[in-house]
């Protein structure tokens, strides 16, 4: 940036930024979103750290040793993207200098163009923020947009001699007087994120009133494609390469950080200065610029079709690429090499994308590939009669009986113990009654029963539990949510069975608990306690208590369980056991 003036104007405009922060989110087009997601911090950092000579001791001033080296790298990078690159000369004080201009010709309107540019010279210092950061943005934008057709021409420009009076940008405007330039953005200083609360994560848009249309569009792009940044429309600030374009009556603005920073125009403006360069902040600003160009220049960001190997077929070779990128839900961000596998553009390469890949499968000789996790059916509600909610057990259908599946359980809601919600543990190996305790380490069972019961001190009344399955402790299925309740009848704890069915002689079959405590409940208990369990009575119905006052069920039938039934039969109030222990206190 040419001027030595710190951005004092921002302090007076912070109120504007606060108002903008409350605005409705701008619309993000699918193609703009796809392109913005292609922006990768690793690439941006590579350009800034490795290609632009912005380290301690480097000097990109017009007489600096690294000036021409940086220019050569910029030319080479643009050319590597397949762009038409030229060095446009200019004379200054008897010497010749060059702007580096890369062109992507428009398919529909080649004579109308948008320009994104930043100056690569410095004030005789490393110039990491001012302005290798802006050039790195231009390079990353060129990398992405060079992959797609655009209706309008896009020029990517690295200007020279900005620091001594916008010499390069004046020369460009004078050379291109016949060009139909629809808009120009100067990216100048985009990698220092101020610590002040009123400036952090803000990005400023500078320009004259006559440039309001492009400034408004850039603001909307920032809101749409970098929603965690707050754009601030500041106003005229003649301090960068947008100025010659504005003076020529063209739509132009500067897009930059909102404070010059502590090392402005010093030798400490270096990527080696600790706690100085904010690569994430610069990456987000880059996304806004890329989104703007996609929407403004009509870039056709073609959605992926699954042919990652580009051989005309979607087959096992493409599946191998997809599988290497598979991340499962919410494990982003997606690596740039894997973006084409993100069919639904949600930032994750997961089972939905796998389904989409199968939809475009073209090779009839290859069987449809499988991802075990995606074909895994997660846990569900228990079938009748075990779907009856209980106070001391949780019962569910494990879903697929995959070998090597483990189950994770969490307490999500609790009327009595809200402070004890959260992850509880894993389900252990089930006993002969298909009852699993809660354990600290995952148990990957070889086979699971059709109905699994969870019996543990951590299962309490009036609560909701979440159970998910996994094959690898990384990817999890959708959760099933199971609630435990206290029935309106306080004697529900003694309600172990419903009515007799008269089936299964000589034993009596029973329907599930029916909120009534009577002789059927005593009979069901006695038959079960004697080992004469019928298929219609399960231990989880009749195991009501442990040993001693205030203990939870212990998977063993004893006199304490019978006592609870008799209390209910006699109409006695049975104290709510939830008052007697907290899941957090369980061993």
pLDDT at residue 351 is higher than 50: yes
Q: Let me know: does 457 contact 552? Beta carbons within 8 Å.
A: yes
User: Is 155 domain-assigned?
Assistant: yes
- Contact partners, residue 462, CB within 8 Å, separation at least 6: 414, 415, 416, 484, 485, 486, 578
Q: State the CATH number of the domain containing residue 118.
A: 3.40.630.10
Tell me: do 503 and 473 sit in the same domain: no
Q: pLDDT grade, residue 38 (50/70/90)? A: confident
User: Is 317 domain-assigned?
Assistant: no
User: Is 312 domain-assigned?
Assistant: no
User: Is 253 domain-assigned?
Assistant: yes
Tell me: do 390 and 356 sit in the same domain: no
Q: Tell me what pLDDT residue 228 has.
A: 92
Q: Tell me what pLDDT residue 128 has.
A: 98
Tell me: do 39 and 152 sit in the same domain: yes
Q: Which residue has the higher pLDDT, 14 or 150?
A: 150
Q: Let me know: does 466 contact 407? Beta carbons within 8 Å.
A: no
What are the structure tokens assigned to 476, written together?
A: 């999890």
| 394 phi, psi to nearest 5 deg | -120, 125
Tell me: do 163 and 242 sit in the same domain: yes
User: Is 417 domain-assigned?
Assistant: yes
User: Is 581 domain-assigned?
Assistant: yes
Tell me: do 464 and 541 sit in the same domain: no
User: Is 316 domain-assigned?
Assistant: no
pLDDT at residue 15 is higher than 70: no
Tell me: do 345 and 248 sit in the same domain: no
Q: pLDDT grade, residue 373 (50/70/90)? A: confident
Tell me: do 525 and 477 sit in the same domain: no
pLDDT at residue 134 is higher than 60: yes
Q: Which residue has the higher pLDDT, 321 or 142?
A: 142
Considering only 18-22, 110-114, 269-273, which range has the smallest mean pLDDT? 18-22
How many structural domains compose the chain? Answer: 4
What are the structure tokens assigned to 87, written together?
A: 């060095």
Q: pLDDT grade, residue 54 (50/70/90)? A: very high
Tell me: do 287 and 354 sit in the same domain: no
What are the structure tokens assigned to 339, written together?
A: 């973006």
> What is the per-residue pLDDT across 531-542, written as a single tens digit (0 to 9) for each?
544 445 566 666
Q: Tell me what pLDDT residue 21 has.
A: 31
> What is the per-residue pLDDT across 489-521, written as a single tens digit (0 to 9) for each?
444 556 666 666 655 443 456 666 665 667 776
Q: State the CATH number of the domain containing residue 474.
A: 2.60.40
- Structural domain of residue 329, as residue ranges? 325-368
CB environment 552-564: b (16+ within 10 A), e (fewer): bbbbebeebbbeb
Chain mean pLDDT for the chain: 82
Tell me: do 54 and 136 sit in the same domain: yes
pLDDT at residue 438 is higher than 80: yes
Question: How many percent of the chain have pLDDT more than 90?
Answer: 49
Q: Select from 484, 501, 533 the last residue of a domain.
A: 484
Considering only 215-219, 230-234, 330-334, 406-410, which range has the smallest mean pLDDT? 330-334
pLDDT at residue 68 is higher than 50: yes
Q: Let me know: does 555 contact 455? Beta carbons within 8 Å.
A: yes
155 upstream amide cis, omega within 30 of 0: no
pLDDT at residue 523 is higher than 80: no
Tell me: do 154 and 218 sit in the same domain: yes
Tell me: do 77 and 164 sit in the same domain: yes
Tell me: do 119 and 200 sit in the same domain: yes
| 54 phi, psi to nearest 5 deg | -120, 25
pLDDT at residue 14 is higher than 70: no
Q: pLDDT grade, residue 465 (50/70/90)? A: very high
91 burial class (0-12, 13-18, 19+ CB within 10 angstroms)?
Answer: exposed
Could you give the residue ranges of the DSSP H alpha helices within 130-254? 133-145, 167-175, 212-225, 242-247
Considering only 244-258, 302-316, 464-478, 509-523, which range has the smallest mean pLDDT? 509-523
> Pairing state of beta strands 230-235 and 202-206?
parallel
Q: Select from 368, 393, 420 the last residue of a domain.
A: 368
pTM above 0.85, yes or no: no
Q: Tell me what pLDDT residue 286 has.
A: 98
pLDDT at residue 119 is higher than 50: yes
Q: Select from 463, 484, 505 the last residue of a domain.
A: 484
User: Is 308 domain-assigned?
Assistant: no
């Amino acid at each position: 940036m040419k001027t030595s003036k710190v951005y004092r104007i921002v302090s007076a405009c912070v109120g504007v930024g606060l108002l903008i922060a409350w605005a409705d989110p701008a619309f993000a087009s699918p193609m703009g979103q796809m392109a913005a997601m292609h922006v990768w911090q690793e690439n941006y950092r590579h350009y800034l750290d490795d290609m632009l000579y912005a380290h301690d001791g480097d000097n990109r001033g017009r007489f600096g040793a690294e000036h021409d080296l940086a220019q050569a790298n910029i030319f080479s990078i643009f050319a590597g993207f397949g762009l038409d690159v030229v060095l446009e000369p200019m004379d200054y004080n008897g010497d010749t200098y060059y702007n580096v201009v890369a062109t992507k010709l428009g398919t529909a309107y080649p004579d109308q163009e948008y320009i994104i540019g930043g100056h690569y010279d410095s004030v005789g210092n490393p110039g990491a923020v001012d302005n290798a950061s802006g050039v790195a943005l231009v390079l990353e934008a060129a990398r992405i947009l060079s992959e797609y057709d655009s209706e309008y021409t896009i020029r990517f420009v690295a200007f020279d001699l900005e620091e001594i009076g916008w010499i390069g940008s004046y020369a460009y405007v004078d050379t291109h007087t016949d060009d139909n330039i629809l808009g120009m953005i100067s990216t100048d200083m985009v990698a220092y994120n101020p610590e002040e609360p009123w400036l952090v994560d803000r990005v400023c848009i500078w320009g004259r009133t006559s440039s309001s249309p492009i400034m408004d569009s850039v603001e909307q792009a920032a809101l749409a494609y970098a929603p965690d940044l707050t754009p601030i429309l500041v106003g005229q600030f003649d301090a960068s390469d947008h100025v010659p374009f504005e003076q020529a009556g063209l739509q132009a603005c500067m897009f930059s950080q909102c404070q010059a920073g502590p090392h402005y125009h010093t030798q400490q403006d270096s990527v080696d200065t600790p706690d100085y360069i904010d690569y994430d902040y610069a990456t987000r600003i880059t996304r806004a610029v890329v989104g703007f160009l996609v929407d403004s220049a009509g870039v056709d960001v073609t959605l992926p079709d699954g042919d990652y190997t580009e051989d005309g077929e979607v087959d096992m070779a493409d599946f191998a690429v997809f599988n290497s990128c598979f991340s499962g839900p919410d494990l982003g961000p997606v690596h740039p090499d894997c973006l084409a596998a993100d069919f639904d553009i949600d930032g994750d390469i997961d089972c939905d994308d796998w389904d989409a890949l199968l939809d475009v499968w073209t090779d009839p000789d290859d069987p449809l590939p499988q991802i075990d996790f995606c074909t895994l059916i997660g846990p569900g509600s228990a079938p009748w009669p075990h779907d009856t909610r209980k106070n001391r057990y949780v019962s569910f259908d494990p879903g697929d009986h995959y070998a090597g599946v483990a189950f994770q359980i969490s307490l999500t809601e609790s009327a009595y113990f809200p402070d004890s919600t959260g992850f509880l543990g894993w389900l252990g190996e089930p006993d002969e009654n298909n009852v699993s305790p809660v354990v600290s380490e995952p148990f990957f069972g070889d086979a699971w029963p059709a109905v699994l019961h969870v019996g543990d001190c951590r299962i309490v009344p009036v609560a909701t539990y979440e159970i998910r399955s996994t094959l690898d402790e990384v990817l999890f299925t959708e959760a099933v949510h199971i609630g435990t309740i206290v029935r309106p009848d306080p004697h529900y704890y003694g309600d172990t069975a419903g009515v007799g069915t008269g089936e299964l002689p000589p034993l009596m079959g029973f329907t599930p608990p029916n909120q009534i405590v009577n002789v059927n409940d005593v009979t069901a208990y006695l038959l079960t306690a004697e080992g004469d369990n019928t298929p219609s009575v399960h231990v989880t119905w009749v195991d009501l208590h442990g040993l001693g006052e205030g203990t939870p069920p212990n998977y063993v039938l004893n006199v304490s369980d019978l006592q609870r039934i008799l209390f209910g039969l006699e109409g006695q109030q049975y104290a709510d056991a939830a008052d007697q222990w907290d899941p957090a206190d369980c061993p």
